[in-house]
Amino acid sequence: MAAELLSPLLPRRRRGLAVAAAAPLLALLLVAVIFFRAPLTTTVSSPERVDLTLVAGAREKGAVCLDGSPPAYQLRRGSGSGAHNWLIYLEGGSWCNTTQSCYAQTMSNFGSSKFMRPVNFSGILSKDHLENPDFYDWNIVYVRYCDGASFAGDAEGEDLDGTKLFFRGLRIWEAVVDELMGKGMDNAKQTLLTGCSAGSLAALLHCDNFRGRLPQEVPVKCLSDAGFFIDVKDLSGERSIWSFFNGVVHLHNIREVLPKDCLQNKDPTECFFASELIKSISTPTFILNSDYDVWQAWSSCKADIRNCSSTQIDVLHGFRKKLVSKLKVAEDKRNWGLFIDSCFTHCQTPSNISWHSPVSPRLDDRTIAEAVGDWYFGRRQDVKLIDCEYPCNPTCSSLLSTA
């Protein structure tokens, strides 16, 4: 891989990854790795390797990965003016929606800490102020993902051969936050909860809970990167995301983290979608998403949108239109932010290239890092940027060129 960049979403070493029961959903995740490759002409600093820490006393709390092993995180201490600021990043990696797919996931770092290796810090996790101008000196915590349900479930199950499975994402979340509070986060001056993909959805699910764990005088905000999955027919004509989420929600017993007002009127699966979650979140939140997200818009042309037919492009434009309409709730909320680009990609915070570089996607002549920083620190008012339809934004070309 040119100018080696290891995405926190997709670590180098993965064994027997099973992200879903259906082959197309596996392909969706594998295609996404394309968009974390750096162009040959781009110079970036070497990503940083940070040691892995297993959560102490996790088994006693029942806070375990799918296979019963303890969960883990990586912590890099802050320095200087950022020594008391905390950024919590929840790893992504799809979901498992059947006992078979969850069992398969126990053979990988997405279901067992036995297979975890430290992943490199880059993008919003970077300690280089040129690549990460606002958060480079913060305490950075990268929470590893091994429960298969966005840190949200609380149940047990068995595979067909009788192997016990643990769906304990919610307990993992609680155990990690408890441990970090004991390591200095209880004295935080500023905090940001974020993540990408399944980790991004987790950031939305736990946003207000995280706010409640810290004193009211401490600024707490949330950033969702590529977690705005919507219930819409894909290019194959199927409601694939809804069907997939339905399996996840019921298998993992996801209810406690879902909005109570939503559950009063709707099915839990519908309440698991970001479009419903944002209606009840009171903590200031920034939504970063592609309105042509490659994970959701499955098609034979998804590896390179330039190969899509006019009919396929029309369907993608329809997807964009629905996503933008669902985001109206966030657009109308005070102190919220948006960066919705028309780049054909998925997860943009963990890569130096897309987060903040000379070839990063831009809206209003701002990189994602600049827009997020303007929103978080109040340098500009009303940071709500929504791109025009593909192919209007030439700054997306660096991502397309990596396919």
Around Cβ 193, how many Cβ atoms within 10 Å?
27
Query: What is the separation of C-alpha 90 from the centre of its chain, rounded to a whole number of angstroms?
Result: 7
Task: Determine whether 231 is an active site residue.
Answer: no
Strands 164-167 and 337-341 come out as unpaired
Catalytic residue chosen out of the listed positions 7, 112, 197, 275: 197
Cα–Cα distance between 313 and 321 in angstroms, integer?
12
pLDDT for 170 equals 98
Note the residue count of the chain: 403
* Average pLDDT for 276-299: 90
Q: How large is the average pLDDT for residues 92-112?
A: 96
Mean pLDDT of 106-125: 97
25 has which bridge partners? none
**7 confidence band (pLDDT: 50, 70, 90):** very low
User: Distance (Å, rounded) from C-alpha 287 to C-alpha 284?
Assistant: 10
The pLDDT assigned to 20 comes to 36
pLDDT digits (tens, 9 = 90+) for 219-230: 999 999 999 999
pLDDT > 90 fraction of the chain, expressed in percent and rounded: 74
Eight-state DSSP code of residue 3: T
Residue 295's pLDDT band (boundaries 50, 70, 90)? confident
As a whole number, the mean pLDDT across the chain is 87
CA distance 167 to 375: 35
Residue 285's H or E segment, with its range, is strand 285-290
Return the H-helix or E-strand segment holding 277.
helix 274-280
DSSP letter for each residue of 111-158: T-GGG----EE-GGG-S-TTTSTTTTTSEEEEE---SSSTT---EEEE
pLDDT exceeds 50 at position 313 = yes
Cα-to-chain-centroid distance, residue 256: 20
To 10 degrees, the CA torsion angle through 351, 368, 197, 76?
60
The DSSP secondary structure of 253-264, one letter per residue, reads T--TTS-HHHHT
Q: Which of 137, 225, 231, 293 is catalytic?
A: 293
Is residue 261 within 8 Å of 280, Cβ to Cβ? yes
For residue 84, indicate whether it is catalytic. no
Residue 276's pLDDT is what? 97
* Model confidence pLDDT, tens digit, residues 16-42: 333 333 444 434 333 333 333 333 234
- What pLDDT sits at residue 298? 59
Given 101, 113, 122, 346, which residue is catalytic? Answer: 346
- Cα dist. 65→325, 343, 356 in Å? 36, 34, 33
| 197 counts as catalytic | yes
Q: What is the mean pLDDT of residues 150-166?
A: 91
At residue 327, the pLDDT reads 97
Residue pLDDT, tens place only, 349-398:
999 999 999 999 999 999 999 999 999 999 999 999 999 998 899 999 76
Q: Which token pair is 111?
A: 């279901």
271 neighbors 254 (Cβ within 8 angstroms)? no
**pLDDT digits 0-9 by tens, 29-75:** 333 333 333 332 344 566 788 999 999 999 999 999 999 999 999 99
